[in-house]
Structure 1
Amino acid sequence: MFIKKIRSLLLAVCATAILVGCNLEYFADAKLNDFVWKPSLAIPIGELSYSVQDLFDELSEAGVDIGQNSDNIVMLTYEAQLQSQSATGFLTLANQSFGQSVDAGLNINAQGFSSLHDYNEVFVFDLAATQNEEYDSVNFSGGNIDILMSSELDAEVAYTLTLNSLVTNETHQPLVVSGILDPSNTSVNFTDVLNKYLGDFSKDANANAVRNKIVVELDYQVRVSPTSVIQLTDGVSFSMTLSNPEFDLVYGYVGERKLDVNFELLNLDFFDSFREGTISFAEPRFSFVFDNSFGFPLGVSFNEIAAITQQGQIIPLTGSAATTPGIVNGPQVDAIGTNVNTTLDLNSTNSNLPELISSMPKKVIIEVNTEANPASAPAQYNFVDAGSELNVGVRLELPMIVNINGLVSRQNVDFDVADDLDQAKELTLRLIAENNLPLGGEIELVFKDENNNTVYTVSERALFDGAPVGSDGRTTQATTKIVDIHFADADIRLLENATSIDVVTRMTTTGASSDEIVKFFSDYNLTVKLAVQADIELTSND
């Protein structure tokens, strides 16, 4: 928050005061008697003015965006991306193997003449699925098809194998494999790449609408010679394999299957500097932003969301948001390649989010379950494009509508001005704060040496007072506070040994003790006028 700004302000002023001195090079060659000069210099240094957004600016180092909402209240926003789910990681086509043997039903023993026997067979096979998905069609992008045709007949066999469920992309006609088998060449193998074909699994042998069906038609003619010997169980067979199939586009129904959004730990580093006191956010909002290009709806369950405090305490999410699944929509089939954005919010009305965030957590545990086609979602025709993705982001919005009570920040900064202190005998730093923020601040400075031992302490004192708040939630008038920080000669000698300063700042909002909630509007300002008085002793030997 504005702690670092105030710290920097003080240190800059202190350094300015300490460095007050005179340039005596003009007198380097002058022959004068020794003298002692003890001037007292009162120097107005200037005026510093900070808006609320200026005071919060350094939080951006921890990834916080500082802006304002539509009501001109300062808003802290923290965003992060969770794991994405790709199409190839979500859906894998199974290898397919199927085939059939058929008997010709001929009983011939060298009948002494030639004869022809025609056959027509239609076979329907079930497409193998990995998780009960049901396919209408698949645009293949990779993989292979292998067909083996075999004959046991002591005769020539002319065959035509028609795969009604594999349509060539060029001709839009079914894949047809034909050839001739005979006793000297009893089998033949056909191999091709699958990306030449569209898989149409939406019709049965009678062209009725179905899913997951592969229809194969076998026409063959047995050409019996005068010397052929054929038994009743002799026949022909075929087998087919679709190996390593990949897809560009799948239509049908993918089932009620889960998408993988892994366990995440979200770091909230901007709370790290606070160790004492409390800050309560009245209206935090934790948004899950789903960017979905899968062609189906998703059910979202917040399986585990919990805050881990600085002390290691775990505070779980409770409320209706923790128990009621949300719905994430997907694009319709006429909008393939587009995204649908859905935001699911956790807030003070559906969860204990204010408790979680007001604990100033170090981390937030996030585990989200997503399931395709939940029963609670409207029915939708499914598709999966090779480029389909589910991207999940989180956005934490913290409007500065808060109660702050004794919130303490401790920072350590370098302090290396010992060589500039030898002429300073007394220093008084005056700060005049004009403040219309509903926030008061106290500060303590602990000067330490290189061994981390305390050499001097500026005890805790009020730096500025919180402004009173009216019935409309805005402050009614600015407060004025005058603070003098005095360093005597003995104090300055101690400061010469200091190498760092522990800056301890304690903040409290107006009415904090009575649980009053205040608002930080973006037009609020804190103005600090600065002046220093320095007593310096110079001699002609300096």
Structure 2
Amino acid sequence: MSNYFEIIFNTITEARCSVRRQYCKDFQSKTIQVEILRSKKVGNYGDLPEGKRKPCQLIWLGFLLLWLAACVKNDELPGIELESSSPFLAFPLANVNISSNELIEELEGDTRIQLNSEGLYTAFFTSDSIVKTKDELFPKIDINLPLPIIDSVVVLPLSLISDFALKKGVLKGDAITFTFNSLEEEDIRVTIRLPQLKKEGKEFTAEFVIAFDGSPPSTFITPAFGLEGYEVDFSSGNLSMIYDARNVDGQRIVLPLSFAQIGALDFSYLEGSIAQTSIPSGLQRIDVAIQDSLVEGTYTFQNPKIHFDVANSFGVPIGINVKNVYVVGADMVPQALQSTLFDNLIILDYPGFSEIGDVVNSRITFDKSNSNLLAITHNDIVAIDYDLDIIINPESSGNSDFFITDSSRAILSAEVELSFDAVVEEISISKAIPTDFSSLDSVIYFRLKAIVDNGLPLSFDPILYLKDTIGGMELILKEEAGRKIESAPTDELGNQIGTATSVLYFEGDEQDVVTIRNMNLLETTFVIKSPLEGSIPTKISPELRLDLRLGVEVKLH
């Protein structure tokens, strides 16, 4: 037997078990290693037959070990090595989820996001609409001043209206009053007509009496005559007032200076030949806020589009003269859009006489097929600037009749359309989750383990940040072998067709171990790319998601 065995044997046989029971606590956290070395036979024990040695050895060894567990002190076992155990713990830390729906919600804000015909999310950014009404072409004709009536026939030229060669119009309101004077010493009966004004086929006519009050001149002020609904005939280009004044004997007389009072001429309907008129839009801007605090980086959309939509309820053709369009990138340097659509005036349709009240919608689109838009939107789009003119009756059709109603509108809206079939180059997505490592005060090693089920057609290069938001410290951990989160499998068009699972490890060094227990925030940041390292488009559709389960492995003293 070994020397160690002899020492143990002698210790027990001499009954030196005087060790107090409290010393047993020293052994509760220790591992006892006993090495038994084969040596010479000792005493009569070595003379035993070979077959009886093993049972005897086992009985003695078991007996001795039981007694050692309760009675032996460290210093009584010279040569026995005691090693401290080092617990190794693993526990879940956090779950991080990213979904296509969530990305769209983060982007949305004031942005309109819809699904297009291919089932892809599409973001729309619009400018304020430019609205042109009848009043832009035919403003209300304010008169307000008394119109002198110096004879029985008065002709008022309507120069503004006659410039447009209108045939007729319908008054929408206001009223007219007359003030007539008489020098006659008797009652005078007056009939006044406005031959260009008719309602339901009947000419405007009013009759009244200037009563003699005993001393000339006599004056009569008529009540206000409402003009709403009267149709005005513009064929002569004038508005005539004709009165017939007669005394009690029926003789015609001419009245002294009298007056007509009308506040304004305003029309609910106009018809006739309308001269060509240009309405400039001025420089306008569409803000394109595709990035926010969640998404930042660079990417290239495969088919960006700029739309100009015109909703026209004027019964007259409208033309659009697009003068300039600029794409403004992140560097705020405008790049000029070039397109064949700039070469000619763009003529849009309009409602006919059988469609009064209807709206005809037209769209002008700049895209990669008719412009250099794709070539100048490789970097982030910040804004679109544009300047154009709206042309009424662009072909100057002088022999055609058109109409305009009081509710007629020409509404110009500009819109940028970005569907999420983009080539992703360098976009980062970040999420922060509170953590607590304060109880790990004996850590000598730690490693984070991430298991990722990725249903997004994007590959991710992950970086983890452990932050002390109070002390301002930060640990940056990268995947120890440079592995990436694999993209969900896609077809050749970028459509997601499955889910990919990745396992990644983030190991801290010795200095990181010292500070980990002060960290109270975990921020996961993923730099993402389209499939095949950004070489084919990514198509983002609803209900796609990435699930990341993050755990931590620590080794304690």
Same fold (TM over 0.5): yes
How many pairs align?
A: 470
**SS class of match (1:491):** helix
CA contact (8 A) 2:314 2:404 kept: yes
Aligned residue type for 1:176: A
| Correspondences of 1:38-437 after superposition (within 5 Å) | 39-42=87-90, 56-61=104-109, 63-70=111-118, 72-79=119-126, 81-88=128-135, 91-96=138-143, 101-102=150-151, 124-129=155-160, 132-149=163-180, 159-168=190-199, 172-177=202-207, 179=209, 184-185=216-217, 188-190=220-222, 192-202=224-234, 210=235, 212-220=237-245, 239-259=259-279, 261=281, 263-272=283-292, 278-375=298-395, 381-405=401-425, 407-409=426-428, 411=430, 413=432, 415=434, 417-419=436-438, 421-422=440-441, 426-433=445-452
More strand, by proportion? 1
Evaluate the alpha carbon distance shift between residue 197 and residue 439 of structure 1 in structure 2; reply closer, same or farther with a 3 A threshold.
closer
Secondary structure, aligned partner of 2:515: helix
CA distance in 1, matches of 2:483, 2:467: 22
SS of residue matched to 1:160: strand
**Farther off after superposition, 467-476 or 78-87:** 467-476
By how many angstroms is 1:317 displaced?
2.6
Do residues 441 (structure 1) and 460 (structure 2) align? yes
Normalising to structure 1: TM-score of the pair? 0.69
Structure 2 residue aligned with 1:206: none
Write the letter of the residue equivalent to 1:214.
L
Secondary structure, aligned partner of 1:334 = helix
CA distance in 2: counterparts of 1:531 and 1:381, whole angstroms: 74
| Distance in 2 separating the partners of 1:40 and 1:378 | 92
Contact 2:297 2:428 in 1 (8 A): no
Q: Which moved more, 1:326-335 or 1:337-346?
A: 326-335
In 2, Cα distance between equivalents of 1:488 and 1:371: 70
Amino acid at match of 2:172: S
Q: CA deviation at 1:268?
A: 1.9
User: Any idea what SS the aligned residue of 2:358 has?
Assistant: coil
Deviations 1:68-118 (A, max 9, x none): 433x4553444555243444566422135765645xxxxxxxxxxxxxxxx
The 1-side partners of 2:175 and 2:415 are apart by 45
User: Whose relative contact order is higher, 1 or 2, with alpha carbons under 8 Å and at least 6 apart?
Assistant: 1
1:241-288 Cα deviation digits (max 9, x unpaired): 432333433333553334575654322222355998642222122222
Q: 3-state SS of the aligned residue for 1:75?
A: strand
Partners of 2:315 and 2:556 lie apart in 1 by 82
Report how far residue 198 of structure 1 moved: 0.8
Q: How far apart, in 2, do the equivalents of 1:134 and 1:424 lie?
A: 92
Greater Rg by CA: 2
Amino acid at match of 2:139: T
Q: CA 1:101–1:276 in structure 2 vs 1: closer, same or farther (change >3 Å)? A: closer
CA spacing shift, 1:428–1:64, aligned 2, 3 Å: farther
Shift in Å, 1:129:
1.6
What amino acid is the match of 2:349? N
Residue 19 of structure 2 corresponds to which residue in structure 1? none
3-state DSSP of counterpart to 1:270: coil
| 1:1-40 equivalence runs, <5 A | 39-40=87-88
Amino acid corresponding to residue 216 of structure 2 in structure 1: S
The secondary structure found in structure 2 opposite 1:161 is strand
Q: Structure 1 residues 330 and 452 mapped into 2: Cα distance closer, same or farther (>3 Å)?
A: farther
Deviates further, 159-168 or 491-500: 491-500
> 8 Å contact 1:273–1:409 — kept in the other structure?
no
Contact 1:373–1:379 under 8 Å retained in 2: no
**Mapped contact 1:421–1:492 kept (Cα < 8 A):** no
Give the direction of change, closer, same or farther, for the CA distance of 1:468–1:256 in structure 2 (3 Å limit): same
In structure 2, relative to structure 1, the CA distance for the partners of 1:215 and 1:498 (3 Å cut) is: same
Q: What amino acid is the match of 1:295?
A: G
Shift of 1:52: 5.0
Partner AA of 1:507 in structure 2: I
- Equivalent pair of 1:52/1:521 in contact (CA under 8 Å): yes
Q: Which residue does the alignment assign to 2:475?
A: 456
C-alpha distance in 2 between matches for 1:149 and 1:388: 39
Cα separation, partners in 2 of 1:523 and 1:37, compared to 1, 3 Å? farther
Aligned to 1:5: none
CA shift at 1:293, angstroms? Answer: 2.7
1:483 to 498, 504, 516: 504
- Aligned counterparts of 2:316 and 2:468: Cα–Cα separation in 1: 65
Gapped regions of structure 1 (runs ≥ 5): 1-31, 103-120, 203-209
Deviation at 1:372, TM superposition (A): 1.9
Amino acid at match of 1:129: L
CA shift, 1:347, in A, is: 1.2
Kept after mapping to 1: 8 A contact 2:317/2:394: yes
Distance in 2 between residues matched to 1:281 and 1:521, nearest whole Å: 12
TM superposition shift of 1:470? 6.3
Q: Supply the distance in 1 between the matched residues of 2:494 and 2:398 (Cα, whole angstroms).
A: 44
Structure 2 unaligned regions, length at least 5: 1-24, 30-83
CA distance in 1, matches of 2:397, 2:348: 9
Contact 2:182 2:210 in 1 (8 A): no
Task: Please list the CA deviations of residues 376-428 of structure 1 after superposition, one character each: whole Å capped at 9, or x if unmatched.
Answer: 789864333333333443443223343333x1437584755354554665443
Shift of 1:164: 0.9
d(CA) in 2 for partners of 1:136 and 1:283?
Answer: 48
Amino acid at match of 1:213: N
Instruction: Rate the CA distance shift 1:39–1:94 in 2: closer, same or farther, 3 A.
Output: same
